[in-house]
Amino acid sequence: MRKLMIPVLVVALVLMLMSLFVIPEGERGIVIRFGRVLKDNNEIARIYEPGLHFKMPLFDRVNTLDARIQTMDGRADRFVTSEKKDVIIDSYVKWRIEDFGQYYLATGGGNAATAQTLLSRKVTDVLRSEIGSREIKQIVSGPRNEVILPDDETEVTTEAAKEALEIDGERDIIMQNVLNGTRKDAMEDLGIHIVDFRMKKINLPDSISKSIYDRMRAERESVARQFRSQGREQAEIIRAQAELETATILAEADKTARVTRGDADAKAAKIYADAYTKDAEFFSFLRSLRAYEKSFSDKSDILVLDPNSEFFQYMNQSKGAQ
């Protein structure tokens, strides 16, 4: 009898250990009995919280599912805009399991890879619809209030800034629409709650990037040529104004000089006239001396004059006085 007790106790201990299971923190458990999910009285899958639990040994099988927020970050995909241009968008999705029973059934036993594949299809379909109804400039741009002007500027002066303000970017709207459009379907079909959706990077294919960059470069060069032309025009205007001001200043200076010279000549003539009226004889004598000085300044000069002319009147008087 004692020999039979030991095997019975061993079997009982093994069965007891097999009936115990532990759910780690951050996970949830589902019990599968005879290939079906064990449900509660409300026909809802029974979810086991973290901790120690019991199950029927040999008949029940426990599957643990990650209850934490997970990230689906797949490879970038190609989309077509309303302009029939290709863009390559790299995005990610934050999600977690909400309905563990539905998730287990929809993913073939809680396969995370299957869940991400199904979720990726839903997100891609909605994102493709959103991208196909918008232009590139709307996809890559945020809302208008993202353009912040300095405090000391009350208006935009550059063409680039004006163009940036005119673009009503819808990047945030696209992400919100994708989030709303996939959240309901993901919950109903997969038991997944989508926490967030973001577009990380928006690129153009290499085949058209070069042509776009060349076009942008040509546009900038055209703007630069326009600015240079305007600069040359302004330089010609400034140069012409400077030359006009120079000519005006010189003309005014010449006019002032002539007026000053004329006033000086008038004053000199008046002085001479006043002196002449005071002593006409002396003035006549002084003027004759200056005429003699200028006439006989060179020894080679020869004058043929009548000795009795008025030119020699003071010389003749000088001889007579001697």
pLDDT tens-digit readout, 267-317: 988 887 777 777 777 777 777 777 766 666 666 666 666 666 666 666 665
Strands (E), 57-110: 60-66, 70-72, 77-80, 86-97
Distance, in Å, from the CA atom of 99 to the CA atom of 188, rounded to the nearest integer, reads 9
Distance, in Å, from the CA atom of 106 to the CA atom of 189, rounded to the nearest integer, reads 7
Q: Where are the alpha helices (DSSP H) in 54-205?
A: 100-106, 112-132, 136-140, 159-166, 171-190
This prediction has a pTM of 0.55
Q: Is the pLDDT of residue 151 over 50?
A: no
Kindly give, in sequence order, each residue whose CB lies less than 8 Å from that of residue 65, ignoring residues fewer than 6 positions away. Answer: 27, 28, 29, 30, 97, 100, 103, 104, 110
Q: Is the pLDDT of residue 244 over 80?
A: yes
Please give the pLDDT value at position 270: 86
Please give the pLDDT value at position 147: 45
Confidence of residue 96 (pLDDT cuts 50, 70, 90): very high
CATH code of the domain occupying 70-147+161-204: 3.30.479.30
pLDDT tens-digit readout, 34-45: 777 777 777 677
Distance, in Å, from the CA atom of 287 to the CA atom of 301, rounded to the nearest integer, reads 20
For all residues of the chain together, what is the average pLDDT? Answer: 80
Better-predicted residue by pLDDT, 242 or 302: 242
Please give the pLDDT value at position 164: 44
Most confident of 70-79, 257-266, 269-278: 257-266
CA distances (Å), 117 to each of 64, 114, 120, 181, in order?
20, 5, 5, 17
Please give the pLDDT value at position 315: 60
Please give the pLDDT value at position 241: 94
Please give the pLDDT value at position 254: 94
Q: Is the pLDDT of residue 238 over 90?
A: yes
What φ, ψ does residue 147 adopt, rounded to 5°?
-85, 110
What φ, ψ does residue 292 adopt, rounded to 5°?
-60, -45
Kindly give, in sequence order, each residue whose CB lies less than 8 Å from that of residue 92, ignoring residues fewer than 6 positions away. Answer: 71, 72, 73, 74, 197, 198, 200
Residues of the chain with CATH 3.30.479.30: 70-147+161-204
Confidence of residue 197 (pLDDT cuts 50, 70, 90): very high
Q: Which of 189-193, 200-204, 247-251, 293-297 has the lowest mean pLDDT?
A: 293-297
Q: Is the pLDDT of residue 161 over 50?
A: no
Do residues 46 and 39 lie in contact, with contact meaning Cβ atoms separated by under 8 Å?
Answer: yes
Please give the pLDDT value at position 300: 67
Torsion of CA 101, 102, 106, 109, to 10 degrees: -10
Q: Is the pLDDT of residue 255 over 90?
A: yes
